[in-house]
Amino acid sequence: MNHLHTLIKTCYLVALLIQVSCQSGPVEVNTERTYGVMAKDAVVSTAHPVATQVGLDILKQGGNAYDAAVAVQFALAVVYPRAGNIGGGGFLVYRKSNGEIGSLDFREKAPFAAHKDMYLDENEEVIEDLSTKGHLAAGVPGAVDGMIELHKKLGSLPFAQLIQPAIDIANQGVVLTKREAAKLNDHQDNFNEINDYTTHFAKVLPWNHGDTLRLPDLAQTLMLIKANGRAGFYEGTTANLIINEMERGGGIISLEDLKSYKSVWRDPIVGSYRDHKIITMGPPSSGGIALLQLLAGSEPHDIKKLGFNETTTIHLMTELERRVYADRATHLGDPDFYDVPQAMLLDPVYLKDRFSSISLDKKTSSQEIKEGEVALIESIETTHFSIVDAWGNAASITTTLNGSFGSKVLVKGAGFLLNNEMDDFSVKPGVPNMFGLIGAEANAIQPKKRMLSSMTPTIVEKNDSLYMVVGTPGGSTIITSVYQTLLNVIDHDMTMQEAVNVGKFHHQWLPDHVLYESDGIDSATLEALQLMGHVMKPVDAIGRMDCILVNQNQLEGASDGLRGDNTAMGY
């Protein structure tokens, strides 16, 4: 724990320096606590400092939170290519200053030619890597259509003004952080294996911190979107380049798939936790339903009294998580194709019965919760950003390519990566995806269907006013990271930055072990949990939260500078 405390103190000092540079005037800070960036009017928190600056600049130019969100999304496609994208998709939850709420589903879709058994061999066994690497792994991208729809409904500045910063950065280049240089180096073999030409990501010598990555082909694609809007991506030159790529690599996305893709405005899922209103994403994201189930299971217990990351607290939360993920595997999918039993899953009577078998003295066997087998969880790459503007409008957006750099397919001549989201379907019922998540018929592959997601963009109200904007990357750990962060603030009275910094843990029913950050749980607590029957597995990091807290008319922007290059800025 001493190492974690040192990191938190260091982060606090960094936050104070950022605070001085980003604020228009002094803000009183209690120096005994750890705070993020404090601002009076507006905050942007993203996975990359350049993208954060782009969003802040748009706000200073008079744009609202949704203008800034569009600009950030396109900027992330340039500066954070392993997860930021125009070749993937995601979800938005919004709350306007007048209290209006809504959500946008710009999740990818299965192509028309997709079918239930497309990743199985003649013996009906899953073909290794087919749903995760290469052209057949890609779903129809939704990010560009999503940003067009977001701007159309909620934007205020001209669209061209919002996409121009990304064009400029792609042409001029972005200076690589140490982490991003390392990630590019890690995937050189994949880029060379999947692509039959020398991509802009390729380098004879290793990429180094401080090198400049230029993406001129991506700049041209962004210019086509700037000039032609949606048609600049889903039709014409860019669409033809995608189809050429599909033909080259055996993919199945067609011109009809691209032209017919539409994002969908959906009603968000709304619940409550200790007099706080929780506004979150519904299916085809599993995140919102799962989050509200976890909060419902927590509310009868005095979480504050049980203590932060104490034995009983971790045990209780783990037992809740295991049951919720078992429900996820069985009942959740695309509501346009499957009748998701949302009312049942959130019914208090059902949840009371679901959680009634939890003992505070010992763990329940995962096989008793629900049968199934699963391999080890693998790494993930998603990104989240949170924005609050000077009028009080809020945007919470999580977007992804799925795996790191998606399918590793860089569309020749267009400069962007395609996702590998097809792996988020239940490729075969009972067989885990790359994140160890099991699915059933509810999430089986069908043409034009959206694959299930764990993304959990969330907004919280307190006393009918905006209180928190939260979210994180992390694949299957997204839901549990958001859950813990909310409890950290509401139950454990943490600042937003403290809630982001502290150690986290995760259980997803199967595999039957608890992932935990090495510095997050002390040895005595670990031993006690093991005696209760839990298998504890240390990992380097869980989640990279980007969050905003409204506290006494001040905004606290909390970004995860410990686990990533995440940066919050405000004014």
Domains of the chain: 266-378+456-544 (1.10.246.130)
How many angstroms from the chain centroid is the CA of residue 408? 19
Sheet with strand 554-559: strands edge to edge = 37-39, 554-559, 546-551, 465-470, 458-462, 276-280, 269-273
CA distance 295 to 306: 15
CA distance 258 to 313: 47
pLDDT in tens, 138-161: 999 999 999 999 999 999 999 999
Alpha helices in 429-522 (DSSP H): 477-490, 496-501
Closest CA to 383 of 550, 556, 219, 565: 565
Give the pLDDT of residue 518.
Answer: 86
382 among known catalytic residues: yes
Tokens of 66: 């949704």
Catalytic hit among 46, 238, 311, 382: 382
Decide: residue 25, CB within 10 A, 0-12 exposed, 13-18 middle, 19+ buried: exposed
Sheet with strand 514-517: strands edge to edge = 505-506, 514-517, 536-539
pLDDT in tens, 166-192: 999 999 999 999 999 999 999 999 999
Phi-psi map region of 264: left, alpha, beta (phi>0 left; psi -120 to 50 alpha): beta
Per-residue pLDDT, averaged over 90-113, amounts to 98
pLDDT band at residue 13, thresholds of 50, 70 and 90?
very low
Q: Chain-wide mean pLDDT for the chain? A: 90
CA distance 278 to 469: 10
Q: How many helices (H) and strands (E) does the chain have?
A: 20, 19
Element (H, E) at 46: strand 43-46
Residue pointed to by tokens 């690589």: 176
Give the pLDDT of residue 407.
Answer: 97
Give the pLDDT of residue 441.
Answer: 75
Give the pLDDT of residue 438.
Answer: 57
Tokens of 311: 């034995």
